[in-house]
Amino acid sequence: AQSVAQPEDQVKVAEGNPLTVKCTYSVSGNPYLFWYVQYPNRGLQFLLKYITGDNLVKGSYGFEAEFNKSQTSFHLKKPSALVSDSALYFCAVRVRSGYSTLTFGKGTMLLVSP
């Protein structure tokens, strides 16, 4: 079975500071990893994905994520947070080969203060 853990329900940062939203995963095999963002009353929007190759993945709106196989982590990062980044962030995983659905974590609320 595959699973995703987002250990923090909420992350608070001040605008202009760097942010990190944590994600660890468990799969049998090599993972595909994704980050999605959800704004109030909206569907999920794709931010970035790791398939293979460079462990540092760059995505939309200045976000990036680092794949760490030994720690089974895929933390989301941004060098300088904006108030408009405040939203609910979901990490998701699926196995790279064979049939597998996308399994989501429970989400982390990011609050960026002015």
Partner 1 sequence: EAGVAQSPRYKIIEKRQSVAFWCNPISGHATLYWYQQILGQGPKLLIQFQNNGVVDDSQLPKDRFSAERLKGVDSTLKIQPAKLEDSAVYLCASSLGEFDGYTFGSGTRLTVV
Is 31 one of the binding residues for partner 1 (CB under 8 A)? no
Please state the closest distance from residue 44 (CB atom) to partner 1, in A: 4
* Backbone Cα Rg of the chain: 14
Q: Which two tokens stand for residue 94?
A: 């699926």
d(CA 65, CA 53): 13
d(CA 47, CA 35): 5
What secondary structure does DSSP assign to 34-54, as a single string? EEEEE-TTS-EEEEEEE-SS-
Please state the closest distance from residue 114 (CB atom) to partner 1, in A: 26
- Looking at the Cβ atoms of 41 and 70, the one nearer to partner 1 is 41
Is 75 one of the binding residues for partner 1 (CB under 8 A)? no
Is 106 one of the binding residues for partner 1 (CB under 8 A)? yes
Q: Which of 1, 43, 70, 114 binds partner 1 (CB under 8 A)?
A: 43
Q: Enumerate the H helices of the chain as residue ranges.
A: none
| Cβ 88 vs Cβ 109: under 8 Å | yes
- Looking at the Cβ atoms of 44 and 82, the one nearer to partner 1 is 44
Q: Which of 1, 41, 53, 70 binds partner 1 (CB under 8 A)?
A: 41
Binding site for partner 1 (CB under 8 A): 4, 32, 34, 36, 41-46, 49, 51, 90, 92, 96, 99, 101-107
